[in-house]
Chain A
Amino acid sequence: DIQMTQSPSSLSASVGDRVIITCQASQDISKFLNWYQQKPGKAPKLLIYDASNLETGVPSRFSGSGSGTYFTFIISSLQPEDIATYYCQQYGNLRTFGGGTKVEIK
């Protein structure tokens, strides 16, 4: 099984800050990594697929990079509406989610 280690588990940042979340796979998954945003009481929303491709309609302040076993997700300028929990998800072998990162406003 492929394990996904996401960090940090939570963070607090100010509006306008750059936020970085990392996700590490237990084995090489090439570029097969997606990122989701989940707001309280809602289903997750796909933001980035194939490690770095922005889903249609998603603001450009969101970005992703990486390949192999190490991936990063960046919010370039944190906005109040970005308060949510973010999850990575691999599909190199079956599917596995990371543990999530809860993003709060300082």
Chain B
Amino acid sequence: QVQLQESGPGLVKPSETLSLICSVSGVPITSHYWSWIRQPPGKGLEWIGLVYYNGHTDYNPSLKSRVTMSVDTSKNQFSLKLTSVTAADTAVYYCARDTVTTGGGFDPWGQGTLVAVSS
């Protein structure tokens, strides 16, 4: 059974860098693509980007200049860094297995972690 769990600070100051980790269990992280998705409070879903273990990444063009994703195969984890955050980056951040390249969708998802941007 594949499971994902997000971790990281729940509060980040404006202009600083948001850093999150997604820990994957039940499957080797090398076997799939992985995505980050966020949801501001009371709003819809926004895809942030995807990463593959070989370093391949694709990012949402609206966030591309501030986003970096990477994979740590030794820990079966992948990560998200978002720089120069503002209040608009306050959201629940989800990690998910990205099976869209093999005919599926985002499945499963982590439970999500709320990150607030505030001084």
Q: B-contacting residues of A (Cβ < 8 Å)? A: 1, 32, 34, 36, 38, 43-46, 49-50, 53, 55, 87, 89, 91, 94-100
Given contacts A94-B60, A95-B35, A95-B50, contact A46 B45 (CB under 8 A): no
Question: Which residue of chain A is the closest to B106 with respect to CB atoms?
Answer: A46
Q: Mark B26-44, 1 if CB is under 8 A from A, else 0.
A: 0000000001010000001
Known: A49-B103, A50-B103, A99-B44. 5 other contacts (CB 8 A): A36-B105, A46-B107, A95-B35, A95-B98, A97-B44
Instruction: Classify chain B's interface size.
Output: 20 to 34
Given contacts A1-B61, A43-B110, contact A97 B46 (CB under 8 A): yes
User: Which of A44, A91, A94 meets B45, CB within 8 Å?
Assistant: A44
Q: Count chain A CB atoms within 10 A of each CB in B47, B50, B110 and give the residue with the most.
A: B47
Q: Count chain A CB atoms within 10 A of each CB in B94, B103, B105, B111 and give the residue with the most.
A: B105
Chain A positions within 8 Å of B106 at CB level: 34, 36, 44, 46, 89
Question: Which residue of chain A is the closest to B60 with respect to CB atoms?
Answer: A94
Given contacts A44-B109, A49-B103, contact A87 B44 (CB under 8 A): yes
The reply to whether B47 and A97 contact each other, CB–CB distance below 8 Å, is yes
User: Which of B45, B47, B105, B111 meets A49, CB within 8 Å?
Assistant: B105
Q: Mark B93-104, 1 if CB is under 8 A from A, else 0.
A: 010101011011
The reply to whether B45 and A100 contact each other, CB–CB distance below 8 Å, is yes
Given contacts A43-B110, A95-B50, contact A34 B105 (CB under 8 A): yes
Given contacts A43-B94, A43-B112, A44-B109, contact A97 B103 (CB under 8 A): no
Chain B positions within 8 Å of A43 at CB level: 94, 96, 108-112
The verdict on B58 contacting chain A, using a C-beta distance below 8 Å, is yes
Instruction: Jot down 14 A-B pairs with beta carbons below 8 A, ordered by A.
Output: A36-B45, A36-B105, A43-B108, A43-B111, A44-B45, A44-B106, A49-B103, A50-B103, A87-B44, A94-B60, A95-B100, A97-B37, A97-B46, A99-B44
Q: Count chain A CB atoms within 10 A of each CB in B35, B106, B112 and give the residue with the most.
A: B106
User: Which of B44, B58, B96 meets A94, CB within 8 Å?
Assistant: B58
